Amino acid sequence: MDAMPIYLDHAATSPLRPEVLAAYAAALPLVGNPSSIHGHGQAARELLEQGRDRVAASLGADPAEVVLTGGGTEAVNLGIKGLFWAARRTDSHRTRIIVPLAEHHATIDSVEWLAAQEGAVLDWVEVDELGRIRLDALEAALAVGGDEVALVTALWANNEVGTLQPVAEIVAAASRYGVPVHLDAIAAYGSVPIDFHASGAAALSVSAHKIGGPVGVGALLLARSATVEPLLHGGNQQRARSGTQDAAGASAFGVAAELATANLAEHAARLAELRDRLVRGILSTVPGATLRGDPDPAGRLPGNAHVTFAGCEGDSLLFLLDVAGFSVSTGSACQAGVPEASHVLLAMGLSEADARGALRFTLGPDTTADEIDALLTVLPGVVEQARSAGLAERQPTLGR
């Protein structure tokens, strides 16, 4: 029997942990709408609230601040659109949204929709060569926008290159202008400490499947002092969100949240050690390989190694590694089957040619040193093969 492929794409989704799967399987057959007042409904409500309590505890929030959603994308949409609509309802002049250039597409597509459909004015803030927001550019945007700024939205950590963002400074700058901040912490959750209350943010988005929970479950943390207009209307089952609540999903999310944060320092240290082993190995054995994001290990997510390979197409590298038994990511968008250079890398100042040769390796709880060494054994040959194929494609065809 062929060996199972080695999975190094935890930033895309991290496999269900056994304890989470057991809790999810046990909860799924239970009958009862959590909003019903009979015994079955109240049993479901108890299960739901236990999950909410665990999610809140893992993020330094109160349970009442946890709005359970259908995933991270919904949480981001609710946070951004909800804060924008609420600000504009209070003051019609508040139409500006400040957003860094290297955000996840859930943010980019949300703010661009608001610009196209709701009259939002987007102030794009530059990032530096490491993918970190330029605080001077943020300050300038806040000063220019003045009392027209509805919100600032930013990542806690860049989902592609892994660079940690100066969250405290972002929130402090916005607070000086009385502007609420939404933080997308989906990539950071379970990798670095997150304290919602200490952050001072108005809203914060997370997702279960990035930390070994089920797909289709997420949460928006909404400060007691913050107000959002809901995306969904119906039964007002939650603050800012209508819809029958998923008790089984909440239960599984709660278990995943507790596991992901219970020994976070030890988990992060182990991942960082494996990440550094991988980075050292790549840079020492593969000519033309360049680490992207913050080279300081303390300035990036512990399980993220984002590398560009000169003279290669990321999709070719991805395919060759897949054939060799390794699942990784390019970290670039692909629309309608046409590969595109990562907007994150372009915002960091890379040329399109350099940006196209990217691979993102992301490690998880079950990643081992043997798996890292196995990748390092095959990667130089894979890169050489990809470069040779690319060179052959670029050779001019001789006419008759």
Question: Residues with catalytic annotation?
Answer: 334
Per-position b or e across 233-256, b if 16+ CB within 10 A of its CB = eeeeebebbebebbbbbbbbbbbb
The total number of residues written for the chain in this structure: 400
Per-position b or e across 265-275, b if 16+ CB within 10 A of its CB = eebbebbbebb
What is the phi/psi pair of residue 235, to 5°?
A: -115, 0
Specify the 3-state DSSP secondary structure of 281.
Answer: helix
Cα atoms in the 13 Å half-sphere on the side-chain side of 289: 23
Cα atoms in the 13 Å half-sphere on the side-chain side of 111: 23
The radius of gyration computed from the CA coordinates of the chain, to the nearest angstrom, equals 22
Query: Residue 386's CB: how many other CB atoms inside 10 A?
Result: 23
Is residue 155 within a helix (H) or strand (E), and if so which, with residue range?
strand 149-155
**Distance between CA atoms of residues 123 and 140, nearest Å:** 10
Give the Cα-Cα-Cα angle 284, 11, 60 (nearest 5 degrees): 120
What is the phi/psi pair of residue 288, to 5°?
A: 80, 10
**Distance between CA atoms of residues 54 and 320, nearest Å:** 41
Find out whether 211 and 257 touch, Cβ atoms under 8 Å.
yes
Residue whose C-alpha is closest to residue 188's, from 159, 208, 222, 166: 159
What is the phi/psi pair of residue 324, to 5°?
A: -80, -5
**Distance between CA atoms of residues 247 and 41, nearest Å:** 10
CA 202 to chain centre: 18
